[in-house]
Chains A and B, each alone.
Chain A
Amino acid sequence: MQGKNEEMDYREYMSLLSLNYQSIYSYILMLVANHNNADDIMQETTILMYEKFDVFEKGTDFLSWARKIAKYKTMEYYRKQKREKLVFDQDLVELIDQQSLTHKESEDEWLDTLGKCVSGLERSDRELLHIRYHENASVLEISRRFGCSFQKVYRAMARVNGLLQRCMRRKLGMEQII
């Protein structure tokens, strides 16, 4: 019986983690601006969440709970790592986190709008996104595939991100900052 309960807890944890993994990861990434660091913190966060899952109140907001743990782990990571490995510091992380709270749109709303904005891009831009995000190709790989420099790919990526930001803000009625 005990085994069955453990399996249920395990399944529930994995289910909730699976459903929210990308959202938690995105939150961490926003606090560190670097995939390697975000990967490290995400690993530590998932371990701590698993350890503490028995105190998570079933039926409440898992993502909100997970974000608190992720932030705690991010701050801890900043304390432990050498300065040169990091992009930000703890104060800046706090600033970014607080400012991000002013974004009230839901994740679903954001993703839905983003999908519409992607549909409105030029074909070449959508091809670039496809290779970068769908095929998960690195900038290096893209540059090699098309025989162009890193700079071009970075520029192209930054430009498309800017276009999407403008589109998103327009569609969501947010202030334009670009």
Chain B
Amino acid sequence: MMHDDNSKKNHRLGLILQRSLEGNLTVEEKTWLGDTLRTDVRAREFYIGFMKVHSGLRMISAEILPETASKNNASLNDLLQGLSEYEQEAPEVIIPTELNPELELVIDTPSGIRIRKKSKWENLLLLGSIAAVFLIAAAGVMFPPAMNREVATITDMLSARWQNNGVRYETGTRLFKRERMLLEEGLAELEFDNGVRLTIESPASFKVRSDMQIDLEYGRLFATVPGRASGFTVKTRVAKVVDIGTRFGVEVDKAGAVSLHVIQGQTKLGLNRFWNNESIDVKGGAARNVSAREEITVITCDDRLFAQEIGSRSNTIWRGEEQLDLADVVCGGSGFNTGNAEMVIDPLTGELQPYVERGSITRRAQVAFSPAESMAYVDGVFVPDGGEGAIEITSTGIRYGRCPDTSGATRKDLTVLNKVYYNEGGDLILGDVKYGYPYRPAICMQANIGITFDLDAIRADLKNVEIEYFEALCAMASLAASRNDRVSPAGKADFIILLDGKEKKVISDVRMDFSEMVHIDIEPQDRFLTIMTTDHQLKGESDPIGWDRCFLGEPVLGLRVDNVSKE
């Protein structure tokens, strides 16, 4: 009997409390509620439990971004319609004639903070300054530091512009749980303390929810998740992607539609709903689209859609390309079609500078090796001449002792332009095939010239990528047909290719029209790739470099994605 009384009282309490929360109690009900709680310890216990459940539900829901309203809550509809038989037992409910206007003056901040605007609030100067604090929060920025709240670091940025309300986000900035960020331009790379790496492309709005979750409101994100962080989750308004040790990209448009492209490994994709615990497996090479209306469809996996790695020193954006173009690097690019074909490297200084037609002027280097300080992936350049012993070929002082004795002279810059030989015999051509910009990628390397690439600098940017090989067509250009009647050139030269100063390929005494496809395997410990052409001079020769129009056709580094750690 006692139990029944309690049950009835709690039943009424529950109903009244639901309405109390929304401010819909009558004076009589307030009195009853106050009296009951004041006199009945069990009622208070029920009340405390009720409020804790209510607040707990608010807090759980705050962990999930708002989603679009569901159009079909058939189960709930059945439930609500089915409750009609109890209506007569229900206590009277005061139905407000309109919504409480104050309830509509609410700012839901991204951090879940709710601020209700009030006129008196606006009238107080002090309060105004605090309101500004919250308006900043409402605009989407949460500021941190403190104990063990940091979960990630900005590890790189590329042309990034944040909506940051005065807070400086820069490489090295630590990020905090619940920090909300709006990337208006450019790209950013975040690394979580558990090893998860994210590359985010603007425009993007997201919140670092914890070390195991990011909420992506809109934008494009690529995740590389090590095994130890398996379970890392990307939540959007309509979907959640749970990683199982993998690499995947998520794109969310401003309407909320999501596309998931799994490059490697496996993910679980589910709808972001309270009542939905179901998910589907999406494995490497597969992709799914989740519309704003929560319809899941199969789409083709696009393994070039996402910026997977970035490098600010070289403006590198890697979208999964399998080869890095060294010709693009020579003209100031990242290897992924970002260079400027009008730029050349002066072999005497290592400076990247605009192309100047040098004609047949012969120059000699004053220094052995010139670091290319403005170029991320080029260690330096030199004019090879082994006449006086070993030559320096890297900025770290590695020397090569078998360099041939040359004239020590050079004539051209390192360039990718086809027109570099235009005034001396036409295009850079091999048979019928034209090389150099704007035709096929090539690096003009008229003897004597040398260049060293820093593979570790590339690895530093492409963190999850292994450099597997170097390939290029080593060639000496043909003479244009229009010039055949003028001279009988006798170009001759050598190609020498080194890894960390060790010979990997030497091709001696090549002549006009020569070409050979060269492939050199590269190991993870190899740092410097050096390529040089020498003039193979004969004693007494007056112009040993005049026709040594060597070039590297389509020079590339082969890239292979390292498997994500399963630790």
Contacts and interface: CB of A to CB of B under 8 A. Distances in A.
Nearest to A47: B130
Interface in B103-147: 103, 106, 108, 111-116, 118, 121, 126-127, 130, 133-134, 137, 142-147
B19 to A, nearest CB: 6
A88 B144 contact: no
A143 B58 CA distance: 20
Interface in A133-178: 133-136, 138-140, 146, 148-159, 161-162, 164-165, 168-169, 175, 177-178
Contacts of B75: 122-124, 127
Nearest to A175: B45
Given A50-B133, A99-B44, A134 B177 contact: no
Nearest to B72: A127
A29 interface: yes
A99 B540 CA distance: 105
A138 B22 contact: yes
Q: Is the interface of A mostly helix, strand, loop or mixed?
A: helix
B551 to A, nearest CB: 54
A31 to B, nearest CB: 9
A22 B112 contact: yes
Given A95-B44, A111-B60, A124 B78 contact: yes
The SS class assigned to the B binding surface is helix
Given A87-B20, A162-B14, A103 B48 contact: yes
B18 A15 contact: no
B22 A35 contact: yes
A14 B144 contact: yes
Residue with the greatest number of chain B CB neighbours at <10 A, chosen from A100, A126, A135, A154: A154
Contacts of A154: 15, 18-19, 90, 93
A149 B48 contact: no
Contact of B58 (A22, A100, A148): A22
Contact of B38 (A91, A126, A169): A91
Interface string B308-343: 000000000000000000000000000000000000
B50 A131 contact: no
A93 B116 CA distance: 23
A22 B76 contact: no
A29 B57 CA distance: 13
Nearest to A150: B93
B48 A96 contact: yes
Nearest to A35: B21
B367 interface: no
Given A19-B149, A29-B51, A135-B69, A50 B61 contact: no
Interface centre among A8, A33, A59, A119, by most chain B C-beta atoms within 10 angstroms, is A33
Given A88-B34, A151-B87, A36 B113 contact: no
Interface string A109-123: 011001100110011
B142 A14 contact: yes
Given A15-B145, A46-B130, A178 B48 contact: no
A111 B52 CA distance: 9
B42 interface: yes
A84 interface: yes
A11 B111 contact: no
Interface in B141-170: 142-147, 149, 166-167
Contacts of B108: 136
Given A26-B52, A29-B51, A151-B90, A88 B57 contact: no
B25 A87 contact: yes
A21 interface: yes
Contacts of B67: 134-135
A155 B90 contact: yes
A18 interface: yes
A161 B274 contact: no
B50 A15 contact: no
Interface string A1-37: 0000001101110111111011101100110011110
B145 A8 contact: yes
Given A150-B95, A157-B18, A133 B60 contact: yes
A149 B83 CA distance: 10
Nearest to A16: B146
Contacts of A15: 142-146, 149, 176
Interface of B: 6-7, 10-11, 14-15, 17-23, 25, 27, 30, 33-34, 37-38, 41-42, 44-62, 64, 66-67, 69-70, 73, 75-81, 83-84, 86-87, 90, 93, 95-96, 99-100, 102-103, 106, 108, 111-116, 118, 121, 126-127, 130, 133-134, 137, 142-147, 149, 166-167, 176-178, 273-275, 277
